[in-house]
């Protein structure tokens, strides 16, 4: 089971994130102090860090640079203010793996955490995702429909994985874009629609429902 450290001094936010992560099967630690967070990660046993920038002692950038300076490669997802492009750029330059603009939806954060942890923890119970006749093996990156292997590109697989992790939920274009393409995307792009078309062609048209004005849903 993966252990996630939430470094955030606003109890409202850390409690919200911890509650969701525990429900998703993770163990969580909450640490409001940047200095203490660095020590916790250096002690080991942390698989991923959700790191806020505004902390009461040293800020998130400093936490990250101390960790990376010590050769720690643990994935870090930074929480940034939506309006602050400068924060985002600075975070990524100081070695963050991803960022999450505040305010964020829990599903969006969870999708990113899953993406970052994907290559870890073999033996994790959720290594094969299934929905009706669709199945994704996260270890071998192999997709099957009714037992027949289907060739997916890396991006198609990531997108399919987001759908199978959220069956029945509407995923917005923005969520899909940020989950499968990361931070480096043009929000006006129609790339999500193009890739959903690929998935429909390869996996079956009736799985991916268009929800007008909102996004797509796995049915």
Q: Which residues of this protein are in contact with Ca ion, per CB under 5 A?
A: 9-10, 52, 54
Give the closest residue to 159 by CA, choosing from 124, 204, 208: 208
**3-class DSSP state for residue 77?**
strand
How near is the Cβ of 163 to Ca ion at its closest, in Å? 32
**3-class DSSP state for residue 54?**
coil
Query: Closer to Ca ion at the Cβ: 56 or 69?
Result: 56
Query: Closer to Ca ion at the Cβ: 31 or 156?
Result: 31
Distance CA 210, CA 217 (A): 7
Structure tokens at 87: 């924060």
**3-class DSSP state for residue 155?**
helix
Query: Closer to Ca ion at the Cβ: 59 or 137?
Result: 59
How near is the Cβ of 79 to Ca ion at its closest, in Å? 8
How near is the Cβ of 96 to Ca ion at its closest, in Å? 16
Place of tokens 């101390």: 66
Residue nearest to Ca ion (CB): 54
Query: Closer to Ca ion at the Cβ: 10 or 108?
Result: 10
How near is the Cβ of 8 to Ca ion at its closest, in Å? 5
């Amino acid at each position: 089971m993966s252990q996630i450290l939430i470094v955030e001094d606003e109890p409202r936010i850390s409690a919200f994130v911890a509650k969701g992560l525990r429900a998703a099967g993770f163990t969580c630690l909450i640490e409001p102090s940047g200095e203490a967070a660095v020590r916790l990660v250096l002690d080991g046993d942390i698989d991923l860090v959700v790191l806020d920038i505004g902390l009461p002692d040293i800020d998130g950038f400093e936490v990250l640079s101390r960790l990376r300076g010590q050769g720690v490669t643990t994935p870090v997802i930074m929480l940034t203010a939506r309006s602050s492009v400068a924060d985002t750029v600075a975070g990524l330059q100081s070695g963050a793996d991803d960022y999450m603009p505040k305010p964020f939806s829990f599903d969006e954060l969870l999708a990113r955490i899953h993406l970052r942890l994907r290559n870890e923890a073999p033996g994790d119970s959720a290594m094969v995702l299934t929905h009706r006749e669709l199945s994704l093996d996260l270890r071998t990156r192999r997709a099957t429909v009714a037992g027949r292997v289907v060739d997916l590109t890396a991006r198609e697989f990531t997108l399919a994985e987001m759908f199978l992790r959220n069956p029945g939920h509407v995923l917005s274009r923005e969520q899909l874009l940020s989950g499968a393409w990361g931070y480096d995307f043009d929000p006006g792009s129609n790339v999500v629609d193009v890739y959903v078309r690929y998935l429909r062609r390869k996996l079956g048209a009736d799985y991916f429902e268009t929800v007008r004005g909102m996004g797509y849903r796995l049915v």
